[in-house]
Copies of this chain bind each other. A is one copy, B any other.
Amino acid sequence: MQRRAILSAVRTLGGHPTAADVFSALRDEYPNLSLATVYRALHALVEQGVIGETRVDNVSRYDTSPIPHHHVVCRHCGNVADLPQLILGDDLFRTAEAHSGFLLDGRSVQLTGLCPACSLSAVASRS
């Protein structure tokens, strides 16, 4: 049962690994591991609330922690960083809910911009 190995790979990798990241990390130890297995395991772990899932761009990324928090996504290199959820106050959610009629769940808030590395290289590449 390499499902355990998949979970611990997510944890050792840290950050926000994709299914492919997890797959490559385990390929050495489990040479005939299938990508399908990785997807099935990750999906199961999300359903059990053991890990979190965020969809960024076109890709599912998995999160060591299932507790609600927000994300900043670099629009240049695609890196994802965490943001404590307290940054966006409850009042904000209430305002947004009042505006939209939606019932917001506090989880997935996604801001985009440039990460430190990419904003530096953006400055550097200005002629």
Q: Is A100 an interface residue (CB 8 A)?
A: yes
Interface residues of A in 95-127 (CB under 8 A from B): 95-97, 99-105, 107-116, 119
Q: Is A1 an interface residue (CB 8 A)?
A: no
Q: How large is the interface on A (under 10, 10 to 19, 20 to 34, 35 or more residues)?
A: 20 to 34
**Number of copies of this chain that the complex holds:** 2
In the complex, A72 Cα to B119 Cα: how many Å? Answer: 27
Can you name the residue of chain B whose Cβ is closest to the Cβ of A99? B83
Choice from B84, B97, B99, B109 contacting A109 with Cβ under 8 Å: B109
Q: Is A43 an interface residue (CB 8 A)?
A: no
Q: Is A36 an interface residue (CB 8 A)?
A: no
A96 and B87: CB pair below 8 A?
Answer: yes
